[in-house]
Structure formats: structure tokens, C-alpha cells
Amino acid sequence: MKKRKSGFYYFLHNRNGMIGLCGVMLIVLIGLIGPILIPKPEGYSTDILQAPSAAHWLGTDGLGLDIFAQLVWGARTSLYVSILTLLVAAVIGLPLGLICGYTRGILSDIIDAVVDIFLTIPMLPLTIIMAAIMGSNITNVALILGIFSWPSLARVTKNSTLKIKEMQYIEAAGCLGIGKARILFKHVLINASGPVFVNLTLVMASAVLSEASLSFLGLGDPTTWSWGTILKRAWSANAVITNPNPWWWWLMPSLCIVVYVVCFNLLGTALNDTLNPKGR
């Protein structure tokens, strides 16, 4: 009889998944260890707008600060924002999505209505307003992004719960007297993990895009290096249109944002294919 292959086997043989995993691991490694090895860029230097060289691998900016050091410290900020945003969105969105999908009644209707309202409201303008009110501290920015990221997670969790709750093993668990909380978090949530994991990776990717947008608009934390802050300074110094053009100043942080988003999207899609046998 042919031996059944595990989900881990399929994940290891998913090319996109391995590319995404390697990229995420590299970003995590840089964000955690890099700032320990590389001093935080600050002050001024005489090496202004130096092109990439052996002394400065990715060149310098208008203040003579090393771009590579800025990117390394920006990776830590991106990870912090992504993780905190993810935690806030998960703490709010997962329980509400499970309740809305598993139960029927006034509470479910209220949750569904709130999710619809949040999903129809443009996120960026509200995020800008909230950031202006609460302040541009990086923790405040991450909390705001988490508050506006939970509705999509709740909707995905609800849709998956609606399908899973009709399964016979869920009915059997209820007949055995197992509590609803245990059924939701032990049986329903685990089997809904595929779409949920994909949405969680999208939350982490969109958090970096949103934080970069806020920083570019001048609403980021000025005391913390981020990829959006680097772009903001390059744009303010007209580095994008000057000639000769210091392309390394604005191109490198842009590539970091793109790579971060693409890697998390690839990882999320691979996890969904692995956890969902129909997608293999």
C-alpha cells in the first residue's frame, strides 16, 4: 500500500513556500541580530551621498549615514510592527470570527454588521487620523494598524467556521457534552487554520506597507528607523529627481518592502496548500 505523505513533506517540496520561508527567516535574522552587530545610524558624516562601495555596502544618504545600517534597523522596526499588529488583530478577530460563524442570534448579527462597517471604511485615511490623534509612537502605529486589520481576519474565520461546524465530528463533539469554547478553539480553529494562516501573513505584510505609508507621510515615529522613514528622507531631499541620482538611497528601502511583502505572501499561500489537501 502506498504510504501517505505528510503535510510537512508537501511544504518542503513547495518551491514558492521554501522561497518565502527562506526570505522570512533571513528578514527575522537580520532584524534580531543585525542591530546587535551594527551601530544605530545617527549624527552626521562627511561621506555624503557616497555610492555603494567596500566602505559603505549600500551607499550613504544626504547626512552621510550608512544606508545598510538604516535598512538593518528598519528590519527590526518592520518585524515589531508586523508582530504587534498581528497579535492585536488575532486577539480581536479570531474569537469574534469563531463566535459569528458558530452561533446564530443577535450577537452574531452585531459582529457581522461591525465587520461590514469596518471593511467598507477606507483604512488609510482613518489610520492617518488615528495616528495624528494618538501620536506617532511606533507602538501606537502598530496598535492602530491591528485595530483596523482584525475585520478581514474575522470574516475569513467566520466563513471557515460556517463550513466546519456542519461536519459530523463537530456534531459528535457537541453530543458528547464538550463545551462550545473547547469545540471552537480545539476543533474548529485548528481545521480552519489554512485560510486563517494565509490571512495572518497578509496582515503582517500589509502592516509593513501601512507603516511605510504613514512614515512617508510624516506620521511615523521620527525616533525609530524604518524603511518608510528612509524613503521619506530621500523624497524630502529630492533624491528621486536629482541628477546625478543617488538611486541607492530610495531604491534599497523600496526593494526591502517589496521583498518583505512577497515573502510573506508566498509563505502564506504555501501554508494554505499544505494545510488544505484539496489545494495540493
Q: What percent of the chain has pLDDT over 70?
A: 95
Q: Return the amino acid letter for 74.
A: G
Residue 41 inside a domain? The answer is: no
Question: Domain with 126 in it: what CATH number?
Answer: 1.10.3720.10
- Per-residue model confidence (pLDDT) at position 91: 94
More confident residue, 220 or 174: 220
Residues 252-264 pLDDT 10s:
999 999 999 999 9
More confident residue, 156 or 5: 156
For residue 215, give its domain range.
74-274
Say yes or no to pLDDT of 280 above 80.
Answer: no
pTM: 0.89
Residue 120 inside a domain? The answer is: yes
- Per-residue model confidence (pLDDT) at position 142: 92
- Per-residue model confidence (pLDDT) at position 180: 77
Judged by average pLDDT, the poorest of 90-99, 155-164, 224-233, 267-276 is 267-276
**Cα 4 to Cα 277: distance, rounded to the nearest angstrom:** 12
- Per-residue model confidence (pLDDT) at position 7: 65
Residue 110 inside a domain? The answer is: yes
Say yes or no to pLDDT of 156 above 80.
Answer: yes
Residue 5 inside a domain? The answer is: no
Residues 176-204 pLDDT 10s:
777 777 888 778 888 887 788 889 998 99
Q: Report the SS3 class of residue 60.
A: strand
Asked if 266 contacts 22 with a C-beta cutoff of 8 angstroms, the reply is no
Residues 27-47 pLDDT 10s:
999 999 999 999 999 888 888
Residue 35 inside a domain? The answer is: no
Alpha helices in the chain (DSSP H): 7-12, 15-37, 67-102, 106-120, 123-134, 138-147, 150-164, 168-175, 180-182, 189-191, 193-216, 227-236, 247-275
Mean pLDDT of the chain: 87
Mean pLDDT of 66-71: 95
Give the number of domains in the chain: 1
Residue 184 inside a domain? The answer is: yes
- Per-residue model confidence (pLDDT) at position 121: 83
Question: Grid coordinates representing 143?
Answer: 496598535
Residue 129 inside a domain? The answer is: yes
- Per-residue model confidence (pLDDT) at position 224: 87
- Per-residue model confidence (pLDDT) at position 2: 47
- Per-residue model confidence (pLDDT) at position 122: 82
Residue 112 inside a domain? The answer is: yes
Q: Return the amino acid letter for 243.
A: N
Backbone phi, then psi, for 60, in 5-degree steps? Answer: -130, 165
Per-residue confidence band for 85, with pLDDT thresholds at 50, 70 and 90: very high
Mean pLDDT of 104-131: 87
